[in-house]
Amino acid sequence: MTTTKGLEGVVAAQSSICSIIDGVLCYGGINIDELAENATFEEVVYLLWHGVLPKRDQLSALQKQLGESAAVPQEVIDSIRTYPRDVHPMAALRTAVSSLALYDKEAQDMSLEANYRKSIRLIAQTPVLVAAFARIRKGLEPVAPNPQFSVAQNFLYMLNGKEPTGTAIKAFDTALILHADHEFNASTFAGRVTVATLTDIYSGIVSAIGALKGPLHGGANEQVAAMLDEIGTIDNVEPYIRKALDNKQKIMGFGHRVYKDGDPRAKWLRQMSKELTQQVGREELYQMSIKIEDLVTKEKGLKPNVDFYSASVYVSLGLERDLFTPIFAISRMSGWTAHIMEQYENNRLIRPRAEYIGPVNQHYVPIDQR
């Protein structure tokens, strides 16, 4: 056996959902650049699930299904009211998604048709859960979803209680597309490992949420925002970054295991950051980010990943820092459900081996002789 730390470079399975080849990210064979420029998030959801872009009637049907499925059982909303107000939103989301299974009559139905319907409900209801918790912890009432709105529009509407601007909807929709899938990332693989036991889709999604919660995965953009807050002004950027580099501290939002020449998603978020920070009068966030990028790239040869500029984008949209990772989950729910359905379709229990490095030739010693 060959031991590979972190499974780096190990091909665990075949998939037709997403590819990263020579630094080019594609969903269903379509370059992420084309999708970010032209597609809607709902089109991307269909693409990840079916392998092709939807025709007009297919897209309309999916949009209608998502709108009709967005309402969350009242029992789940009531349970969210009992959560501690200071709990991290990812912990709240993990619990709330698990609760959805309790009220889904198809939760244990493992048929392809039932799993597809559950996937629609998960895509539609996850934004409702995140927005509901965000409002309840402030003492506000949740806002019911509008079945006529897109996923992006609905989330911003439910979060703030008012219709968002077209610019905000477009920016958020693009961010959802960029985060929708990323091959066998930690959370997706966790979800596939879980459902490979033939447990239900909710269990797989809860596993994925747990993995995404970590600061080395979905929590990285939250850490970037915290860093920007700590730096404060553009004049503090260089001394802060140089001190961090001298102390060999990790600069969040830079580098990626599968991209050696830069994350292809970062340029879209960089442009969005530039435009949004100008519109809301927070240009210093973008200017600080550019300066940080220049320093880290020059000193360490590392380029920004998807998390780095998404932080300033979300801040510009008025989103609270601890909601960044739940927003990641709203988007990645599309990829998670696609991979889980693919795993079910051609399942094999995922059970790797470990290289044993402990003591050998040990023997039992009676307790009074130890």
Tell me, yes or no, if 363 is annotated catalytic.
no
Sheet holding 18-21, edge to edge: 18-21, 24-27, 30-31
Tell me, yes or no, if 256 is annotated catalytic.
yes
The answer to whether 43 and 59 have CB atoms below 8 angstroms apart is: yes
Pick the catalytic residue from 181, 263, 307, 339: 307
Q: How far is CA 94 from CA 115, 202, 351, in A?
A: 19, 10, 25
Pick the catalytic residue from 104, 182, 200, 256: 256
Measured distance between the N- and C-terminal CA atoms of the chain, rounded to whole angstroms: 35
Q: How far is CA 8 from CA 67, 141, 348, 353, in A?
A: 40, 45, 21, 15
**Beta strand segments in the chain, E:** 18-21, 24-27, 30-31
Angle, helices 201-212 vs 89-102, to 10°: value is: 180
Q: How far is CA 138 from CA 20, 86, 159, 225, 347, in A?
A: 41, 10, 11, 21, 43
Question: Which amino acids are annotated catalytic?
Answer: 256, 307
